Structure 1
Amino acid sequence: MVSARVGVTIATADMSLRHEAELRRLLGEQRLVSWFQPIVDLATGDVVAHEALVRGPADSPLHLPDALFSTARRHGLLAELDAACRAAAFWGASAQKLRDPVGLFVNVEPEVLDSAPLDVLLEIAANAPGQLRVVVEFTERALAHRPAELLRTVDRIRDAGWAVALDDVGADELSLAFMPLLRPDVIKLDLRLVQDGPGPDVAQVMNAVNAYAESSGALVLAEGIEDDEHLRLARSLGAVLGQGWLFGRPRPVIDMSARTAALPLPPRRAAQASSSSVVDSQASPFSLLPPGAVLRHAPKALLIELTKQLEREALRQGSACVLASTFQLARYFTPATASRYRDLAERIAFVCALAEDMPAEPLPGVRGAALAAGDPVRSEWDVVVLAPHFSAALLARDLGDDGPDAERRFEYVLTYERSTVAAAGRALLARVVAAEPAAPGTPGTPGTPGTLAPSAGSVLAAVPAPTGADVAECLPSLLGEPSLPALPPVPSLEPGAATEALLRRALDASTSGVCVADVRRPDQPLVYVNPAFERLAGFTAGQVLGRNCRFLQGSDTDPAVIDAIRTAVSAGREWTGVVLNHRGPDRTPWWNEVHLSPVHDDDGALVHYIGVQTDVTERVIAQRELAVERDRTRAQRARLEQLGLRTPL
């Protein structure tokens, strides 16, 4: 039994290392190429653009993009792979004489947005024979994770005359909230909107998308159109462009015989043409007020009440809303304010707070930004609320009064003009930077030995391949288990007795449960569990091996969570979340924080899932007790306000 368990682990680690070596070889030798999928005008059937999709060599285990990107993420090579993909897209389009007015869609991974070598792409495009009509695709994750970097990149893209597309709209409500901030020229609907059919979620997405498209002139593109029924629904949803197997699968060679037409991008709006001023680090929301805006004077007490009203409005807008606020000094972010912002972070899409000395995350789910010395926002009181069908901003400037803090006066504007509100929101998000970059020596960090970097005459430099001694270090990252102890170098990947003993001790020492399921077999049975899993499950390995792990579920397990897990596994994606499980024959309930990771074989086929489980019951109970106490406190505060008392900001 132990030999079988260790054999699975060694084979998985061996495959991971071989995939890393293969990816480094493909990058170093510039072997990645682009395949192209047509995008058509749904009214005429004309091809108006192609999306570039990366492929490895046909005989490589990393031929398909899922295998390429999962390997890159696992081994810290995402930035290098992303750069190689874009370069391959541009060179491939140029070699196949793809020209304006037909467009070229290329993707940018949000995780590497700040290191994306845009200069390389601009140079390639400038030197291409003819002119490329480029549309750069982002997802809502880019704006949520790296607001400042994305807004700067979008400015440079538009300065180059290129267009911007927001991808996977509808997959997450963040995409609806961020549409007016990113101002995409093309909205790419998530394929589930076409393939799943009408429903309340689809109606919510299309309500927001059509409102934005009507006001901006943006094009709506439906992905995943595979048959005539999908096509009819795409048209019903308001899509004017389509992409999917009905019109053509990705191919290495563009069909030059297809009838083409110009990609009908909306005209560049004046607001976009001057967008650089919006994300200028010195532009403040108050300075973006239009000429002639009527300024009023008010004491701090009035601004407090106006602020609370806007916060309540944000809560009413729900999960597709963005709230950005400034506080001058971090000490003004009081416990009472923190209580309100905790509620906001739980119920709306994105919340950020800016002030002098504000930490990067003042509360869980609240993005923070410390205002630099000399930043004009330090003297402002700004609250921006932006949702698909609502916009409002309180933009105020401190008049510098002497005397008690509570009696300070401000000049302010309360505006509902959408373009002004969106510009103010972009100005604030332009100050919210990503988390600190990885320290030198982290894989994938520029300048780190053993990573890829641009070099003269080529997009990427060659990288030394990993050695067999790296297998022990690969195992913890493969399992997603931070508590596994580091192992000394293993001289061979052969499953000898010494190697088996080391790996067994490492897994036995883990305080988190580890299991492996074989997705190739009927009902996806467990083929390995470690001792910690046995303790969490309340059964021995002999009782659970060969069974599907659904035996941990019960009648009170949330069906939505189960569906989310099934969807992720069916799609071969990672999944992390908390699920209610039951332990042992007596079915004792416990809360399980689960991380599931797919494992592919040399051909890129999904063969196993590795699961890591942690008992977080105490944490969940504490969170629920805190929520009850918070509700009680909120009710008491509301009662006090009814009696005429005011809570200080």
Structure 2
Amino acid sequence: MQTLGFDRLVTNFQPVVDIDSGIVVAYEALSRAFSDDSPVPPDRLLRDAYRDDTAAQLDSAFLDSALRAIETQGLDAPHSVFVNVEPASLANGRVPPALIGAPPLVVEITERALTTDPGSLLAAAATLRAAGHLIAIDDLGAEPASLALLPLLAPEIVKLDMNLIRRQPDRIAAMTMTAIAGYAERSGAIILAEGVETPAHITRARAFGASLAQGWHYGKAAETTDEAPGIARLRPTRGRHALDVADEPSGTTPFDVVSRAAPVKLGDRALLLQVSAFLEERAGAGGDSAVLLATFQAEDNITPATRIRYEALVGSGCLLTAYSTGASAGLPHPARSVVVADDDPLAAEWDVILLTADYAAALTAREIDPTRHREGLYEFALTTDRALVRRCARALLSR
């Protein structure tokens, strides 16, 4: 442990309370580091660990401490304890080995993991769910782009960023409130407010739809606990509009997804260019809550004009990923470029997938005669059905 900047870990448990009844339904395991009996600031530990490329090792030490404390306290009810996992532990879709075979927990994933590498996060979440765990997204509202990605991860629990219930309401708070309300209505997800310290915070938490809360108003973290029934025993974690979190079969493309559910039409290149431009404009209007995924077949379809438009989108805060064959698309940072294999069915598609906090659309097309590329006809499908758009996005992000 000393090589990680501390010599001792202590895990305490903070109660998670049902707001209406005041009953403790779960706990969050909070591990703290000490060096020579002095507490080590967690922010400094994390900063140094990411700098030294030891974040996954640090996270493993914290998780091991939490699991030992959970066993010691006898917190064996399913989903009665929240544990935190850092994005570094989920890189490339892997999960900490200690969580495979652990009792059913609520695994908290920080919001920044959604925007850093969503594809790896979705793969890791599938593994965690298969192991019996529930997923909670932590600090939602700190990064607006994560609002559009929320339905892709489909967490069973949404933890509000504490600033949402503490600061003066603003446009970001309103956008977050609207997005969370829509997501919870569609999915049946539970909303949990963190950092609750006053009755005013409780009022604000209720306004955001929270049914659970934690914070000093309900009790500080302590080494010992009473029993807790667990989240699942309190109320269902999925409503009748539950989101489908299953991955599409390997190799599925957006055209496969949409063409099975929406009418396929014929259109020429000029028309589809205008539809693509319109969706890009909507992405720009969505600003930092927008996610745009686009496929370009060959790299030379990404023209200088395309790069100029995409620079503007990235500048507006849009989370942008482009897929093409050949070399990397060379898009402006922090846009992501994904190289598609020539034999991948995706290489034959023209896709524009847009998700914002309050809008979703997918244009997906295949050229009928690639030898007449500039003038050719396409079979295409266009949908604004959020469920279909979400499935299209998952099909792309899984690559």
- Return the TM-score normalized by structure 2: 0.91
Match of 1:202 in 2: 173
- 8 Å Cα contact 2:81-2:230 kept in structure 1: no
1:224 aligns with 2:185: no
1:122 aligns with 2:100: yes
Deviations 1:385-428 (A, max 9, x none): 111111110011232x1543212222110001110001111222
Residue pairs, 1:52-91, within 5 angstroms: 52-57=29-34, 59-91=36-68
Match of 2:395 in 1: 427
Judging changes above 3 Å, is the alpha-carbon distance between structure 1 residues 272 and 148 closer, same or farther for their aligned structure 2 residues? same
Letter of the structure 2 residue corresponding to residue 90 of structure 1: L
- 8 Å Cα contact 2:247-2:395 kept in structure 1: no
Match of 2:258 in 1: 289
Choose from 165, 168, 171 the match for 2:142. 171
Judging changes above 3 Å, is the alpha-carbon distance between structure 1 residues 268 and 143 closer, same or farther for their aligned structure 2 residues? same
**CA drift at 1:190:** 0.6
Residue pairs, 1:541-556, within 5 angstroms: none
- 8 Å Cα contact 1:173-1:349 kept in structure 2: no
Distance 1:228 1:409 in 2: 62
1:374 aligns with 2:355: no
1:140 aligns with 2:118: no
Gaps of 5+ in 2: none
- 8 Å Cα contact 2:78-2:105 kept in structure 1: no
Choose from 383, 408, 421 the match for 2:376. 408
- 8 Å Cα contact 1:113-1:146 kept in structure 2: no
Distance 1:151 1:218 in 2: 17
Match of 1:511 in 2: none
Classify the secondary structure of the residue corresponding to 1:166: strand
**CA drift at 1:42:** 0.6
Choose from 177, 182, 189 the match for 1:211. 182
Distance 1:117 1:260 in 2: 23
**CA drift at 1:24:** 6.2
Distance 1:416 1:65 in 2: 43
> In terms of Rg, which structure is larger?
1
- 8 Å Cα contact 1:358-1:368 kept in structure 2: no
- 8 Å Cα contact 1:392-1:421 kept in structure 2: yes
Deviations 1:539-592 (A, max 9, x none): xxxxxxxxxxxxxxxxxxxxxxxxxxxxxxxxxxxxxxxxxxxxxxxxxxxxxx
Match of 2:356 in 1: 387
Distance 2:278 2:88 in 1: 35
- 8 Å Cα contact 1:185-1:265 kept in structure 2: no
Distance 2:374 2:243 in 1: 40
Match of 2:14 in 1: 37
Match of 1:300 in 2: 269
Deviations 1:116-157 (A, max 9, x none): 54333113x1xxxxxx33111122321222122111101111
Distance 1:96 1:62 in 2: 23
Percent identical among aligned pairs is: 38
Choose from 303, 306, 324 the match for 1:355. 324
Letter of the structure 1 residue corresponding to residue 146 of structure 2: S
Aligned pair count reads 397
Judging changes above 3 Å, is the alpha-carbon distance between structure 1 residues 383 and 389 closer, same or farther for their aligned structure 2 residues? same
Match of 2:72 in 1: 95
Letter of the structure 2 residue corresponding to residue 413 of structure 1: A
Distance 1:64 1:375 in 2: 47
Match of 1:452 in 2: none
**CA drift at 1:354:** 0.5
**CA drift at 1:265:** 4.5
Match of 1:23 in 2: 4
- Return the TM-score normalized by structure 1: 0.57
- 8 Å Cα contact 2:284-2:318 kept in structure 1: no
Classify the secondary structure of the residue corresponding to 1:392: strand
Letter of the structure 2 residue corresponding to residue 155 of structure 1: A
Gaps of 5+ in 1: 1-19, 126-131, 432-649
Letter of the structure 2 residue corresponding to residue 346 of structure 1: G
Choose from 89, 108, 111 the match for 2:85. 108
Match of 1:181 in 2: 152
